[in-house]
Structure 1
Amino acid sequence: MSAARKLLYPFSLLYGGVTALRNELYDRGIFSSNTFDLPVIAVGNLSVGGTGKSPMVEYLVTLLKNKKQVATLSRGYKRSTSGFHLLTGKEAAAEVGDEPLQFKMKFPEVLVAVDEDRSHGIRELLKQNPKPEVIILDDAFQHRKVKAGFYILLTPFENLYSDDLVLPAGNLREPKWGAKRADVIIVTKCPERLSSSERERIENDLKLEEDQELFFSRIAYSEKVYGGSESFSVEDLKNRKFTLVTGIANPKPLIAYLQNKGLNFEHLKFPDHHNFSVSELKELRSREMILTTEKDYMRLKNDISKERLFYLPIATEFLERKDVFGQLIKEFK
C-alpha cells in the first residue's frame, strides 16, 4: 500500500462503515425499498470511474427491444436540469446528460428518461403510452430505494473490486462484499484472448456466491467512424490529420486501439463527463478534424461543425457464453 493510501485508509474505514451500515439497514428492511410490478434490471458497479455501463445498457436494449417495450432510466449525471425528463432526442447533452442522450439517439423507439429519484422516475415511466414492459436502470447498484429484480455488476479487468479499497484510499463506493447483491457479475474490458487459468484466478479472487453467474466481456471498437456529414473506415484515418478528444474516465484502451492501427494523433484529455468551456470550444474549433467518443460527441455536436467532428462507436462483446447471458435476461420476469 502506498504512503498516500496508508494516510487515507482510516477515512476509508469510516466511509466503508457508514455505507455498510446503510446497506445492512436496507437488507433488514429497516430502510424500505420500493418494488414494482414489472421487470426492473439494474446495471452498476462498486467502483467510481468507467466500467463499461453504457455499452452494457445498449447491449441489453438491443437484446430486448424487439420483444418488449423497453425503457432506460438514468440520473443524468452532471445535467443542468432536475426531476423527471422523458427524452425526445432534441435536447442538449447539458440538459439531460450525455449517456441518456446517446441512448435516445441510438434507439429512438425506446423510452429514455432521467430522474435522480429512481422511484419517482419509474412511476412516471409507467404513466407513458405505450407503457414500458421492462425498465433498465443505469448506474443504480447503490440506489437501494428501488429494489430491482435483477442486478448486473460490472468490474473492469484491470481494476477488479476484489483488489480495491473503499474511498478515499481506493475507488470503491462501498465495501467489496456488496457484490453479493448481484445476480450476474461481468468482468469488463478484458483482453480479446483470456486464458482459462486467468479466468479461474479471477473467479477465485471475486469469491462468488453459489447462485451468481460470472461472465467475461471486452470492448469492441467499430471499424468505421461516424459524423454528421459522412462516415468512413478507421483505416482511412491514416490519411487524415486529426486530434483525439476524450472526456472519459479511462481513455487508455481507446488510445491503444488507435495506435495499434498505426495512427498518429494528438490527444486532448478532459475529465469524465466534462462540460467544455467557451475557451476550450474555441480551441477545438481550430482543429482540422476531431475524433472523439460517442458520449463526448453528444456534448460537442452542437458546438463543433459536423464536417470536423467524428466519433468511434463501441459495443460490449462477450468472450464466451453470450447465449447463456441472453437467456438469463430474456427469461427474467
Structure 2
Amino acid sequence: MYGKDAPLRFLGLCLGSALWSFATQVIRWMLRLGILLPKELGVRVLSVGNLQAGGAGKTPLVIQIAKEAVEKGLKVCILSRGYKGLWEKSGGVLLPGGAADPKECGDEPALLHEQVPAALIGVGADRVSSYDHVVREHGRPDLVILDDGFQHWRIHKDVEVVALTSSTPREVLFRDSKTALKFASLVVWTKGTHCPTPAPDVEIRLTLKRPADGKQRIWLVTGVGDALSVKHSATEAGYQVNRHLIFDDHAAYTLQDLEGFLAGSAKEKALLATTGKDWVKWKSLGFSSADLIVLEPEVTFIKGRERWNRVLWGS
C-alpha cells in the first residue's frame, strides 16, 4: 500500500508512538507522585479519550454520552480544545440556541453543537479557563464531559471512557500505550475486525442509516481521522461509493471546492456525500444542495450496554 516508503513509515510510526507514549507515562508518574496537581471542578467530570492519535470514534461517544445526560435532565457542559479554530487560543463558549462558526470554534465543537444543541460547549486549549468562563457567565453545570481527555491532566476526572480500535502502533500513531488502559473506567471497542487486547468492557459499532432508495451512488468527500472507515460504513449501509476524495483531518474547504465536488458527482449521476464534521464547515460557507447527503454515524451497542449504564449513570 505504501510502496518503497513502507519501511520508513513503519519505523516512524513505531518510534513516534513509543516516544509519545513514554511522555504520557512520565506525566502519569508525576501525577501519582503529587508533582502535578489536577484541579477539582466541584462537579462530576466524565472524560472521553483514546490511545491513538485520531480516528478512534471518540466524538460519536461524546455525542452519545451528552445526549443521554440531556435526556436525564442534566445541565451538560462539554469542554473541547477546538483544534484549528480561533478559540483554541482565545477561548469561547457555544450556547444552546446560538450559532457556531467552525472558523472560530473549530469543526469538532461545531459538530457537537449541532448534534447536542442543549449543551454548553466551552472551547479552548486551556480547559480550566474554559470551564471557569462557562461557570462565570452561565452557572455551574451538573456534568462536565472532557472531550479528548484521557491524556489531559489539568482537570481531575471521575470517569475515564477510552475508545479503542483494532489498530496497532505499527499501523497508526499512538500517543499512549495499552498499559495505560488500567486507568480507564470503561474501555469501548469502536472499530476493527479483531477484538483488541485487553478485552474491552463495551463493544459498539458506528452505523449509518440505509439509503431510502436502495443502493444509492455517491461521491464521498472526507476530511476526518479515519477516512477508510467512513467509506466502509457507507458501503455497509448500502451506498455505492463511485469516488472517494480523501482530505486531511480538519481540512479547510472553499466554496469553489464544493461546487467542483457537486459538478463532478452530477456528471456521474451520483449524490454528493460527506461527514457531519465536514458538513458544519460546508454549511458555514453558505453551501447547500438537495443532492447532498450528510453521513453522521449512530452508536449501536453490540455488548456491554449494562456496564455502560452502570459506570456512567449508576443504573
The amino acid that maps onto 1:236 is: D
- Which residue among 82, 107, 129 is the counterpart of 2:116? 107
1:274 aligns with 2:251: yes
Distance of 1:14 and 1:315 partners within structure 2: 34
Alignment of 1:56-95 (within 5 A): 56-67=61-72, 68-81=74-87, 82-88=89-95, 89-95=98-104
1:314 aligns with 2:282: no
- Which residue among 249, 253, 256 is the counterpart of 2:232? 256
CA contact (8 A) 1:83 1:117 kept: no
How far residue 279 of structure 1 moved from its aligned partner, in angstroms, is: 5.2
State the percentage of identical aligned residues: 24
The amino acid that maps onto 1:150 is: V
- TM superposition score normalised by structure 1: 0.80
How far residue 278 of structure 1 moved from its aligned partner, in angstroms, is: 6.1
Structure 1 consecutive aligned stretches of length 4 or more whose deviation exceeds 6 Å: none
The amino acid that maps onto 1:274 is: A
How far residue 270 of structure 1 moved from its aligned partner, in angstroms, is: 0.7
Name stretches of at least 5 consecutive residues in structure 1 with no aligned partner: 192-197, 224-233
How far residue 258 of structure 1 moved from its aligned partner, in angstroms, is: 3.2
Distance of 1:13 and 1:319 partners within structure 2: 32
SS in 2 for 1:286: helix
1:35 aligns with 2:40: yes
- TM superposition score normalised by structure 2: 0.84
Per the alignment, do residues 290 and 127 of structure 1 end up closer, same or farther by CA in structure 2, a change over 3 Å counting? Answer: same
Per the alignment, do residues 279 and 120 of structure 1 end up closer, same or farther by CA in structure 2, a change over 3 Å counting? Answer: same
Name stretches of at least 5 consecutive residues in structure 2 with no aligned partner: 1-5
1:49 aligns with 2:32: no
How far residue 103 of structure 1 moved from its aligned partner, in angstroms, is: 1.7
Residue in structure 2 matched with residue 175 of structure 1 by the alignment? 177
Residues 174-213 of structure 1 show CA distances to partners (whole Å, capped at 9, x for unaligned) of 333222221111111256xxxxxx75xx4xx32x7xxxx7
Q: CA RMSD in A?
A: 2.6
How far residue 41 of structure 1 moved from its aligned partner, in angstroms, is: 0.4
CA contact (8 A) 2:49 2:163 kept: yes
Distance of 2:233 and 2:190 partners within structure 1: 16
Alignment of 1:105-254 (within 5 A): 105-156=114-165, 158-159=166-167, 163-164=168-169, 171-190=173-192, 202=196, 205-206=197-198, 214-223=201-210, 234-236=211-213, 238=215, 242-254=218-230
The amino acid that maps onto 1:87 is: L
Per the alignment, do residues 102 and 6 of structure 1 end up closer, same or farther by CA in structure 2, a change over 3 Å counting? Answer: closer
